[in-house]
Structure 1
Amino acid sequence: MLSRSLPLAALAAILAGCAADGAPGALLGFTDEPAGSNCPVGGTRIDAGRDDDGDGRLDADEVDTTTFVCDGGDGADGTDGTDGTDGTDGTDGDDVLIDVTPEPPGAHCPSGGHRVDTGVDDDGDGVLDPAEISSTAYVCDGDDGDPAIAGFQLIGRLALSTGPVAEIVAASPDGRTLAYTSGDAGDVGFADVSDPRRPTALGVVDVAGSVASGRGEPTSVAITPDGRYAVVAVKDTADPIGRADPGALVFIAMATRTIAGAVAIGVGPDSVHLTPDGTRAVVAIEDEEDPDGNAVAQARPGSVQVVTINAANPSASTVVTIALAPTVGNQPTDPQPEYVDLTPDGQTAVVTLQENNVLAIIDLTTATVVRYVDAGTSRHGRADLANDRAIDFTATGFVGQLQPDAACLFADGSHVLTANEGDVANGAFAAGLYSGGRGFSVFNLAGDRVYDSGDALEWAAVRAGVYPDRRSANRGIEPEGCAVGQFGGTEYGFVLAERSSALFVLDLSTPTAPAIRQVLGAPMRPESAVAISARGLVVVGGEGDVTGGGLWIYQAVTDPSEAGHGPGVYDLASDGLGFGAIGALAPDPATGLVLAMPDNAYGAARVWSLWFDHGARRLQVIGERLLRDAAGQPLTGYDPEGLAVLPDGGLVVASEGVAGNGAAAPCVGSAQSNRLLFFDLAGRLDPRFGGDGIVDLPCGAVAGAVDWTAVTGDGFEGVATLGAGVGLRIYVALQRGLTTDGRRTRIGEYTPATDTWRWFFYTLDPDRGGAAGVQSLSELLAVGGDRLAVIERDGGWAGEAATKAVMVFRLASGTADVPTDPVDKVRAVDLLAGRFRFDQERLEGLALADGALWVVNDNGNGAAATFAVRHDRAALEVEPAPVPGQSAIRVNEVNSSGADFVELINLGATAVDLSGWKLTDNDPTHVLVLPPGTTIAAGARLLIEGDTSAAALRLPYGLGSADSIVLSTPTDVRVDHHTWTTHVASASRCPEGSGAFVATPPTPGATNACP
């Protein structure tokens, strides 16, 4: 509250510069007004306007409105006394008060501003009460000076190691705190987004116990306009059909993040929205008894409840139920309200009845339904309606019932945007009628549909590479959530596609002709969005698909080059060619383009050509070529995972096999085997390689043969070439090793000139447990010389991701066909570090092209966005950092017969700290990590005794008759090793510490007994 006694200059300063960035600030000018026609006894003149010239002064030509705040007149003089003494002066008139409050964007101020209420303080309490307001003026921020919004950029993400499952998200009034529901966990989480580029988690509040069974599931959350409470709708999931236990509306105090109270509400609440004054909560009570049987009317109808909030004692809040009886749509006896939104004045609610295909318009002042609107159908002229591992929009379209999920009102409350998901099986309500509009619509509140997107949204998904073919027969991209907000003076809508993990940005300036401006990546299975217009932000919450959920934050930008996913992150797009599931990349030296290939998400093998559009930060898909068999037929049945260009311009493809290597008979391969496929310039299998263009894993008695029965389903994942002509060598990476390889996997070397194989071994980081912690390789890249790069990754999404890295190694650092001498790897690029944390799963494309190193994710053929992230190629010029003492420490003596032991020696002139160093044998699961504080003095020996010893420092495993001992640094760089084929009483280096191993009498901890 600002009273008349506040210095007027201070009041002007409060209002000056309050506009959004880039808009002219609102100013007030205060001058004394003499007694006259405007103010009978004088007062104050208040001029309001925008500071168009930015000089901090309200000039005469900048005044938009003028208001007069008048002083009260003095009371009449008292009557003269009998003795002629003047009467006492009358009392002074009451003070005039001014109340200035922020005005959100809306009908009074399109871009927001301030509301100025004035009046006389009749009761003298210093507070301008509503009954004392005599005039109201609005000082609006400018919008014509706002820079045009060029788009939105992903600037921040929040993903916890436990998920989070962020289904419905809400923002505090200042836009700096978020609340989100996690249904499976039964809690509400909070996040600090004061710095939206670095959001931080604030913890969770368990609300599962707020219902009778203790098995509550939060379904929606809203934050009161004063920021005092997070209001959460919770349904009881114990027995929705039999018990029909009521839900709860839970009030969480934002200041302490503790439950302040709760009130019982109807069965199965699904959505909550608060009136702008925060006095009421409007709740959609779906009462969905059987989610799998919602195409048949159920016994209990849903309703809408209005909760009048008792802010002082939330548990004493009162509930009024508005019954629903739709006169149109499906199953009118069983209304199932899904989502609710309110007009800016808080007087009207728009409620979606999804299964009924109805919108209900409710007058909250009378608690009555004004009208039921049949949402109707959407006609698509083109569509893909088959889950056939091909994206084909040339087929005849379909008619789908909208069945809208979310509904989001425009800022002025004149129109509502709907996300038309669908929720029942196709044909449930009429033969040939599809479920879901697969797009969005705009309605006015009179019930007229003024726009429907038809096939536009799915067609945009195709061009952005986020069309999920596996959902073609069943609701497609499934638009589910939405939001609306004003940015730069323009009304924008945001529609979320659940099955594409995509955010569609809409320009709603013309409600009858919205335009799709952007397609952005979103967290997995996005459920809701909130527009924080005052901060230029949009936040999307995703529930994830097992993993991958979280909160993603986007910012409005004015520079077109900044729109997208941030610096160094390129989108992929086409002019209508369907693409996705990119599992392999390779530069094409002949054209300067990049070639990309999908895995078996597509039925026929194909290669796409990609062109760099640096201005738009985009890789444009400009061509497609089908690969063919020797007869010229499209190649099918394979799972391509690696791609490289041969020196003559042909192609080599690594196709991943299944467990057991897909053997049709012993040592007889099939399309289900791990294979190298060679193609000529025309894209046909090239018989110059393997006789038919196909090279299988070596098997049987040949050199380099592997046991096919030990091959897992994690086979070929990347391929690269070195050399040319007779010196051509093909390298291929196994995602994980054979069942007999332990923690090591393999890099195969195939020489076409001799048709021979060799194997180098690569030690994976340890698995962490669970599917997210499984380590594997993907992709293989020739860096130069004998240096190769791979992607080593775990299986984690989002916050569960701990390892996503580009590793580099030299072939010469290991010994071919010797498992105990793997290559020495070094981390070149940590893909989880930096501004863009590349925590998608799966990262499978790696290429040197256009002067940079590129990493691309396989998006599961439209289940998520595809990102092409650019890195400095100089990052690959890295060598393993030497560990202190690495050149001085040697394995000096080994005994594998009787009392096992290993003796190390320090040949250097200084002591060496061996903390964290490792000793392994030929089973990679056998590891001794030397404990902290383990040191070896200059010239001294360190004895590690066998597993049967009682010594403090001993091996946790026994040494076998045909075994090895390998000494490595904490970063798995091999330092020394010894391998033997039969038990030896002792094998010692002679000369000591430097010579070859020879049989000697055991001398543990003493000078070797060399001959």
Structure 2
Amino acid sequence: MLVKKLAIALAASVALSGLLTACNDGDDTPVQLASVSNPDKFFNRTATFAVCAQLESSCEDSTPTAAEIVAASEDGMTLVYTNSLKGEIGFVDIADPANPKPLGRLVMGGEPTSVTVLGAHALVAVNTSKDFVNVSGKLVVVDIAKRSVVSEIALGGQPDSVARSKDGRYMAVVIENERDETLGNGAPPQAPTGYLTIVDTVGAPASWKTRQVELKGLAALYPDDAEPEYVSINDDNIAVVTLQENNHIALVDLASGKVSRHFSAGAVTLNQVDLTDAPRPNVLSLSETQANRLREPDGVSWLSRTQFATANEGDLNGGSRGFSIFNTDGKLAYDAGNLMEHLMARIGHANDKRSDAKGNEPENVTFGRFDGTDYLFVASERSSVVAVYDMSQPNQPVFKQVLPAAAAPEGVLAIPSRNLLIAASELDDRATSSTLRSALNIYQYQQAPAAYPTLQSVNRADGTPIPWSAMSGLVAAPSGSVVYGIDDSFFRGNRIFEIDASVKPASLRREIRITDPNGKIAALATQLPSAKDANAFDATDLAALVNADGSVNLDPEGISLASGGGFWIASEGAGTVGEAARPVLSANLIFKLSASGVIEDIIRLPAAIDAKQQRFGFEGIAESDGKLVLAFQRAWAGDKHPRIGVYDLAAKTWQFMFYPLDAVTSPNKGWVGLSDITALGNKRFLVIERDNQGGPDARIKKLYRIDLSGATDGTVLSKTLVRDVLPDLKASKGLVVEKIEGLAVLANGDVLLVNDNDGVDDNNGETQLLKLGQLTLN
């Protein structure tokens, strides 16, 4: 349900239009939310520091890196982050937060797991364990300015989280002694048990002493194997420790070294959530209930002397997909319920492949007061965002905004003295996906509207948001600012989306399900050969394209309005002729749909062209002057260039021209191909040409104009550059998105561009719907 009575805040920024219902009793009961404070100020991304820049400025080294937990020097000018993959910590200069600079790395002699700062020193927890049984660790004291080791303190076990007291008298180090998840079913108990180590930080680091606090025997769940995960310290020097697998929380008085209170984190019933991610392709259906789900908190942060918040990521037995607020007496003050799951569905960040596990997996929380307003920041590991909540009203967090992050944010750090927020994203995999680079996300609290999301959905009749993701082709309505988009083969039950681009963020206000009630797909069986070969697909493959409810499982990559009403959809084929590892499971097909999404007709390529099919097929479609113009992504067998197919609707005949691609220029190689196409009139068309690279490796993201006047079958077309959109993509201050796949020109001449976020599968989920303004198109 959209929150009402937010007129003041909405006047400042439409980012609040997606505000969701909150819950405070664990059963999704809605509560009335108050307006946010400082309605004219928001956090916006000001820079993204790719950790690979520590290796070389060009980021051409594929060595995996990671930024997991991040801390800042006392003046907030230098960041220190842990890089467990390389056994080191890194330093970054953020004196100018818009232009972070690498300051080098320092080897830790083990796996750094956490870091905090005390005075001139970074305090790094380092795991030096031989295995899961023979555990050891150390606390490494580092001079930040000199970037050198000052002292090392033995911890006796495998450390995880580390925190310091505000007065600087104590350090608290969680000794997790994590379990072997490959042993048996991976469940506790597995010796040795975990505990908390207190470091009395009196005098020089070499003289610091440690004390051990036993956590075994506190929880009802796995009492003999304490699994402490995260620690935070309040102004009274009380440490709150989450025991994730035990679903328990302990409060420790650091002065006495005693557990002062402990209690279960409890369970929550989640309604209207998606718990199913199989069979593939995927379907986001916010219609299921998960009863009595253990919270199993991970990150924790104090909000005051008497309250703290937990990120309920979960592990073996739970994970409630949100966050909670507890009082120090153990009473639950607030629970987010399905709030974050609905948020992810609304902004296209729902990771459907995690639906049967722990959903968006809130990993961490932190708290900070900015310009007199208290904010809670919740990092979602699987959806790669940081959700921001206004904490002005007791026990009533008010959603303020959501921030995009590089993949898998883990550590979150507020630096109110500099109006900065930092999120450390750990996922890095250049070798298999150029879009995944570990990074430090830098956000600034500023007098400006929220820049993200660029697209969000309204609610369905049942109060849940229209879930969406993997946005592919776009087409504009003949008047006004409405565009239509589609989702691709990541999802079954494909849909068309009606989007109002006149507001910011753009509003996805209607979904149209594509259906085949008249059996048009099954009727293609009459055109199939009697025996399946590498050049065709069979009746079994056809049957897989239609679901029991009549919805269809296509790969819609292009969409165009049909002059007689309804839509044209270009569905990319699956498989490559002659390649056993990629059998042909579907052909490249054109679907004529009614305005309500019913398949009315199907157009096939000539058999001789089908016989050349590669897996990079139809990407865009446009109707103009009685013809359909199709953009093929890459060259097919025997061709030097990708095809531009032209189908005459009256004569029912095909012609094919060829499009010359730019040469590959990315240092990560890859390929260059076409995405969408849109008609400009007078036989002119605008196309997207892009490489398959993202982040620092992206090089080719361009809009070209082609002219089919006088072009005949076999013509190699010429092209005219309209705009290099790489600077536009970089303007978001994030890692450059890879798949710009949707293109539309509004009636007023404004050009819109959107990327496909791959359904948040090996992708951070960021969707940039960019309005480029009125370009010189003719």
Query: Normalising by structure 1, what TM-score?
Result: 0.63
Query: Is 1:418–1:442's contact at 8 Å kept on the other side of the alignment?
Result: yes
1:377 is aligned, of 226, 243, 267, to: 267
Alpha-carbon deviations, 1:437-486, whole Å to 9, x = none? 11110012222221111112212222222222221111111111111011
Q: Cα gap change, 1:381/1:830 in structure 2, threshold over 3 Å: closer, same or farther? A: closer
2:599 aligned partner: 685
Q: CA deviation at 1:187?
A: 2.4
1:460 aligned partner: 343
The separation in 2 between residues aligned to 1:277 and 1:387, in whole angstroms, is 48
1:712 matched to 2:620: no
1:564 aligned partner: 451
The separation in 2 between residues aligned to 1:782 and 1:200, in whole angstroms, is 44
2:310 aligned partner: 418
1:234 matched to 2:114: no
1:528 matched to 2:411: yes
1:831 matched to 2:726: yes
Query: Is 1:812–1:823's contact at 8 Å kept on the other side of the alignment?
Result: no
5+ long unaligned stretches in structure 2 = 1-36, 54-58, 430-435, 460-464, 520-548
Q: CA deviation at 1:150?
A: 4.1
Query: Is 2:517–2:550's contact at 8 Å kept on the other side of the alignment?
Result: no
2:650 aligned partner: 753
1:153 matched to 2:67: no
1:622 is aligned, of 471, 489, 509, to: 509
Structure possessing the higher radius of gyration over alpha carbons: 1
Alignment of 1:200-239 (within 5 A): 200-207=101-108, 210=109, 216-224=110-118, 226=119, 228-236=120-128, 239=130
The separation in 1 between residues aligned to 2:564 and 2:578, in whole angstroms, is 31
Query: Is 2:577–2:611's contact at 8 Å kept on the other side of the alignment?
Result: no
Q: CA deviation at 1:649?
A: 2.8
* Counterpart secondary structure, 1:677: strand
The structure, 1 or 2, with the larger RCO (C-alpha pairs under 8 Å, 6+ apart) is 2
Q: CA deviation at 1:246?
A: 1.4
Q: CA deviation at 1:497?
A: 1.2
1:733 aligned partner: 631
1:299 matched to 2:191: yes
Query: Is 2:500–2:507's contact at 8 Å kept on the other side of the alignment?
Result: yes
1:363 is aligned, of 232, 253, 275, to: 253
1:436 matched to 2:315: no
Q: Cα gap change, 1:506/1:788 in structure 2, threshold over 3 Å: closer, same or farther? A: same
Q: CA deviation at 1:173?
A: 1.8
Q: CA deviation at 1:557?
A: 3.6
* Counterpart secondary structure, 2:340: helix
Query: Is 1:236–1:246's contact at 8 Å kept on the other side of the alignment?
Result: yes
2:694 aligned partner: 797
2:469 is aligned, of 557, 580, 583, to: 580
2:544 aligned partner: none
Q: CA deviation at 1:721?
A: 2.6
The separation in 1 between residues aligned to 2:398 and 2:180, in whole angstroms, is 38
1:660 matched to 2:579: no
The separation in 1 between residues aligned to 2:92 and 2:722, in whole angstroms, is 32
Q: Cα gap change, 1:202/1:619 in structure 2, threshold over 3 Å: closer, same or farther? A: same
Query: Is 2:515–2:597's contact at 8 Å kept on the other side of the alignment?
Result: yes
The separation in 1 between residues aligned to 2:331 and 2:478, in whole angstroms, is 57
2:383 aligned partner: 500
Query: Is 2:216–2:224's contact at 8 Å kept on the other side of the alignment?
Result: yes
Letter in 1 for 2:258: T
The separation in 2 between residues aligned to 1:488 and 1:468, in whole angstroms, is 34
User: What RMSD over aligned residues (CA atoms) do the two structures have, in Å?
Assistant: 2.8
Query: Is 2:645–2:654's contact at 8 Å kept on the other side of the alignment?
Result: no
Q: Cα gap change, 1:309/1:776 in structure 2, threshold over 3 Å: closer, same or farther? A: farther
1:593 matched to 2:477: no
2:149 aligned partner: 259
Alpha-carbon deviations, 1:899-922, whole Å to 9, x = none? xxxxxxxxxxxxxxxxxxxxxxxx
Q: Cα gap change, 1:563/1:603 in structure 2, threshold over 3 Å: closer, same or farther? A: same
Letter in 2 for 1:235: N
Query: Is 1:352–1:359's contact at 8 Å kept on the other side of the alignment?
Result: yes
Query: Normalising by structure 2, what TM-score?
Result: 0.81
Query: Is 1:607–1:627's contact at 8 Å kept on the other side of the alignment?
Result: yes
2:289 aligned partner: 396
Q: Cα gap change, 1:873/1:187 in structure 2, threshold over 3 Å: closer, same or farther? A: farther
1:861 aligned partner: 759
Q: Cα gap change, 1:814/1:386 in structure 2, threshold over 3 Å: closer, same or farther? A: same
The separation in 2 between residues aligned to 1:480 and 1:639, in whole angstroms, is 33
Q: CA deviation at 1:672?
A: 1.7
Alpha-carbon deviations, 1:944-968, whole Å to 9, x = none? xxxxxxxxxxxxxxxxxxxxxxxxx
The separation in 2 between residues aligned to 1:203 and 1:571, in whole angstroms, is 38
Alignment of 1:96-175 (within 5 A): 150-159=41-50, 160=53, 161=59, 165-175=66-76
Q: CA deviation at 1:643?
A: 0.9
2:775 is aligned, of 862, 865, 874, to: 874
Q: CA deviation at 1:545?
A: 5.6
Query: Is 1:605–1:634's contact at 8 Å kept on the other side of the alignment?
Result: no
1:320 matched to 2:211: yes
Q: CA deviation at 1:717?
A: 1.7
Q: CA deviation at 1:353?
A: 0.8
Q: Cα gap change, 1:824/1:611 in structure 2, threshold over 3 Å: closer, same or farther? A: closer
Q: CA deviation at 1:289?
A: 3.1
The separation in 1 between residues aligned to 2:777 and 2:135, in whole angstroms, is 61
1:612 is aligned, of 497, 501, 518, to: 501
1:817 matched to 2:714: yes
Alpha-carbon deviations, 1:381-423, whole Å to 9, x = none? 322111152222233343210000000111x332111000111
Q: Cα gap change, 1:148/1:535 in structure 2, threshold over 3 Å: closer, same or farther? A: farther
1:338 is aligned, of 224, 229, 239, to: 229
Query: Is 1:787–1:809's contact at 8 Å kept on the other side of the alignment?
Result: yes
1:470 aligned partner: 353
Q: Cα gap change, 1:178/1:663 in structure 2, threshold over 3 Å: closer, same or farther? A: closer
1:697 is aligned, of 605, 610, 617, to: 605
Query: Is 2:482–2:502's contact at 8 Å kept on the other side of the alignment?
Result: no
Letter in 2 for 1:482: V
2:10 aligned partner: none
2:6 aligned partner: none
1:519 is aligned, of 402, 423, 428, to: 402
The separation in 1 between residues aligned to 2:719 and 2:502, in whole angstroms, is 37
5+ long unaligned stretches in structure 1 = 1-145, 211-215, 429-434, 687-692, 878-1011
Query: Is 2:481–2:501's contact at 8 Å kept on the other side of the alignment?
Result: no
* Counterpart secondary structure, 2:775: helix
Q: CA deviation at 1:169?
A: 1.5
Q: CA deviation at 1:279?
A: 4.6
Q: Cα gap change, 1:746/1:221 in structure 2, threshold over 3 Å: closer, same or farther? A: farther
Letter in 2 for 1:376: G
Q: CA deviation at 1:802?
A: 3.3
Query: Is 1:437–1:454's contact at 8 Å kept on the other side of the alignment?
Result: yes
Q: Cα gap change, 1:813/1:253 in structure 2, threshold over 3 Å: closer, same or farther? A: farther
Letter in 1 for 2:550: P
Q: Cα gap change, 1:275/1:471 in structure 2, threshold over 3 Å: closer, same or farther? A: same
Letter in 1 for 2:443: Y
Percent identical pairs in the alignment equals 32
* Counterpart secondary structure, 1:861: helix
Q: Cα gap change, 1:832/1:814 in structure 2, threshold over 3 Å: closer, same or farther? A: farther
Letter in 1 for 2:455: D
